[in-house]
Amino acid sequence: MSTESVSPRAPLWEINSRVVVFAAVGAALYAVLGLISFTIPGTQNVDIRPAFALVPFFGMRFGPIAGFFVGLVGNMVIDQIKGYGALTYWNWSLANALTGLLAGILFALVASRLQKEAVRLVAVGVITWIAMLIAFATTFTDMWLQDMNFATWASVAFGPLLLSNTLVALILTPALDAVWEPISKRIGR
C-alpha cells in the first residue's frame, strides 16, 4: 500500500469542487441512511444509527470540512424528517459535525505513518472513537437546554450514545475504509 492513497492531496482546509461534491454526497447519504435507526429504550431519543459511520469516514477520506458538513447537514436533515425540527437538537447536530471535523484532522496527522492495512484500520477505529468521544461530550449543554442534571445527561443521553456509536466506530467505519482503499487506489486518490 502506498502512503499516497491515504494522505490528503490537497491542503487540509482547502475548499474545492471535490470537497463540495463529496460533502454534499456524504450529507445526502447520511440523511437517507440515517433514517434506518433504532431508538434505545429508556434514553433521550438516542438511536443506534449505523449510517453514523459515514461522518468520520468522510472526514478522514475527504477532509475535515467535508466531515463537518456531512455531520451537520446530514443530522439536521434526519432530525427534520423525523419531526424533531432541524434546530431542536442543534447541539447534537453540531456534535456530529465536530466528529467529522476531528476525525479528518486526526487522520491527517497520522496518515503518513499508516503503511500497513491492519494498522490503518485499527487507527481508523481509534480515531473515530476519540473524535466521537470529544465531540459528543459537547452535548453536556443538554443540562441547560433540556433542564437535566449531569447524572441524567450521562445515563440517558451521552452514555447510551457512546455505547451505540462505539459499535459503529470500531466495526463499520474501518469496514467502510477497507472497502474504499482499493477504490481510491484505482481512481488515483
Check whether 145 has a pLDDT greater than 90. Answer: no
User: pLDDT digits over 25-39, tens only?
Assistant: 999 999 999 888 877
CATH code assigned at 20: 1.10.1760.20
Q: CB neighbours (10 Å) of residue 129?
A: 19
Give residue 175's pLDDT.
94
pLDDT at 6 over 80: no
Please count the other Cβ atoms lying within 10 Å of the Cβ belonging to residue 60.
Answer: 30
- What is the per-residue pLDDT for 168? 82
Count of domains observed in the chain: 1
For residue 162, pLDDT beyond 50:
yes
Q: Which amino acid is at 113?
A: R
Tell me the residue range of the domain where 132 lies.
Answer: 3-187
Main-chain dihedrals φ then ψ at residue 12, nearest 5 degrees? -55, -40
pTM across the whole model: 0.85
